[in-house]
Amino acid sequence: MKKGIVLVAMVALWGCKDTPKAEPIAQPEKIEHVALEEEVTPSTTKKEILPREEKIGMDVLLPMFYDKDFYGEEVAKINSKWLALFESNGQFQVRKAKYELQVEMNECTESEVIGAISTEEEGPILFFSDTKDILKGKKETLTIKEVPLWPEAPQEYVFKGKTYVLRAEGKQMDSYLYTDDSEQEKTFKLFQDYKLYLSIDGGEEQLVLDIPHFNDTFVQLLFVGDLDNDGLLDFVFDTSAEYEQKSVELYLSKGAKHYLYLAGTTTVDFAC
């Protein structure tokens, strides 16, 4: 019996000897919480479109015949104080209008037509009434990159450190090939809901032209330069919407609320 007790005691002592001491539990390192930056979603808000501006302060005439019954009074406004915009070899100049009023019979409509016809060898682009905003003399201009202002082809002009972009949009309805007067084959495109915008130095766009439809015509750029001597670009457009019609619009920058305003316009209807 004593031997059994001694044996049990020895086994217990041996077990205590081999039992490892409990190691202290390592404390986890302090975790630094980093605030996650919120993901910035690019803004899809469109830039504001500045409205079209119109302040017609001058009369405009083309060196063409107008129907006397409808436009006789308009043509008769021209006088010795009027000016004319001329182009020669890419140079533009404003000088005193030299003209004579002529009345003829339109054989097609069998009605009288009246026109202010230039007496100079080279006729002007247009006549306009005397205005303090446009002075006589040579004008600083830029070479027109392309006469038609097609929607898929924005035009950029840099003038006195500022970058101007003319951008058009519209719904193309048709297209076809044709041969121009110089025997070159070109593509004509028919658009509806045409709009032309102008921006300066990447800023907001201003609506300049809004033409619902065309009938075998399209917008033509006639002048890009400084007409009113304010160091900013002015523009003249052919905005004819019908093939039996000629419309011209003159846009100035001096005194504009945004970039441009319509300062003068005229339309000749020569439908038969």
Band (46; pLDDT cuts 50, 70, 90): low
Q: End-to-end distance of the chain based on CA atoms, in angstroms? A: 143
pLDDT above 70 as % of the chain: 83
Q: How far apart, in whole angstroms, are the C-alpha atoms of residue 271 and residue 268?
A: 9
**Least confident span in 20-29, 45-54, 56-65, 103-112:** 20-29
Tokens 């600083």 sit at which residue? Answer: 140
Q: Is residue 5 part of a domain?
A: no
Q: Is residue 116 part of a domain?
A: yes
231's torsion region: left (phi>0), alpha (psi -120 to 50) or beta?
A: left
Q: Which has more pLDDT, 12 or 152?
A: 152
Q: Is residue 94 part of a domain?
A: yes
Q: Is residue 60 part of a domain?
A: yes
**Looking at the predicted structure, is the pLDDT value of residue 200 above 50?**
yes
Contact 97, 124 (CB under 8 A): yes
Q: Is residue 11 part of a domain?
A: no
Band (270; pLDDT cuts 50, 70, 90): confident
Q: How far apart, in whole angstroms, are the C-alpha atoms of residue 225 and residue 229?
A: 9
Q: Where are the alpha helices (DSSP H) in 76-122?
A: none
**Looking at the predicted structure, is the pLDDT value of residue 8 above 80?**
no
Residues 6+ apart with CB under 8 A from 144: 221, 222, 223, 224
Q: Is the dihedral of CA 120, 60, 160, 95 positive or negative?
A: positive
Average pLDDT, the chain: 86
Q: How many CB atoms lie within 10 A of CB 169?
A: 13
Predicted model pTM: 0.80
**Least confident span in 17-26, 103-112, 175-184:** 17-26
Tokens of 266: 């005229």
Q: Is residue 31 part of a domain?
A: no
Q: Number of structural domains, the chain?
A: 1
Q: Is residue 43 part of a domain?
A: no
Domain of 57 in residue numbering reads as 49-269
Q: Is residue 67 part of a domain?
A: yes
DSSP secondary structure letter of residue 15? H
pLDDT above 90 as % of the chain: 69
